[in-house]
Amino acid sequence: MQIIWLGHSSFRIEIEKAVLLIDPWLSGNPMFPQARRAEAIAGATHILVTHGHSDHATDAAALAKELSIPVVGIYDLTGWLTAQHAIDTIGFNKGGTVRLGGAAVTMVNASHSSSISTPDGPRYAGAEVGFMIAGEGHVIYVSGDTDIMADMGWMGDLHKPDIGILAAGGHYTMDMARAAYAAKTYFAFKTIIPCHYRTFPALEQSAKVLADALPGVQVIEPQVLDPIRL
């Protein structure tokens, strides 16, 4: 299994026979090197979107058309994308599980907001979500944009993720200290990869607080397009 950070909250996860692009924000992402775009998207099989905000969903439809692959996400958002862009989608909802190239992807709750900017103002984009991605003997928790929430208790107990990809930049999501509290309180991660940080000055620039609070957990500060093999 291979996890590759594309900057901000964008990831490429190669698991089982799937190559999943998670919240692929490539155009306008200040952390993403445009010269390596082809490398980042090569062989992708599915696009997973956690919510409708532009730094997560703005490139989803164009990539789906370019690569002839579906966008996977909450029913309301995928339905809107199909209607607007005539792309293939797989819409499901919290508690549902879809099989993508042998990986089992379950939609779970998040605590944030979700909208799409339109000429007429913000449009409701369905609820914000996270994903549990199971395959190759691992379960990856992709938190999506979220704060700490009590739901993490049953999510950790039921799904038992060993890898956490946690939004931890603060301002719009949990910060590093809150992500560390959530990890200690609700999960038994072996590996944590922080995201939604370093992109802008308003966000945290280091994961030191997270790492210092979690002795015994492998906290990996990702580098853009450097593969993490687990």
DSSP string, 71-82: EEEEHHHHHHHH
126/145 Cα distance (integer angstroms): 14
68/78 Cα distance (integer angstroms): 15
Judge whether 166 and 193 are in contact, CB under 8 Å: yes
3/228 Cα distance (integer angstroms): 5
- Looking at residue 187, its amino acid is F
Block mean pLDDT (10 aa), the chain, length 230: 98 98 97 97 98 97 98 97 97 98 98 93 94 98 98 98 98 98 98 98 98 98 98
Token pair of 230 as six digits? 């687990």
Domains along the chain with CATH numbers? 2-223 (3.60.15.10)
222/5 Cα distance (integer angstroms): 6
- Residue 102's SS3 state is coil
Token pair of 74 as six digits? 């909450």
pLDDT computed for residue 153 by the predictor: 98
73/76 Cα distance (integer angstroms): 8
Give CA separation, 143 vs 9, 80, 120, in Å: 10, 23, 30
- Residue 100's SS3 state is strand
pLDDT computed for residue 118 by the predictor: 87
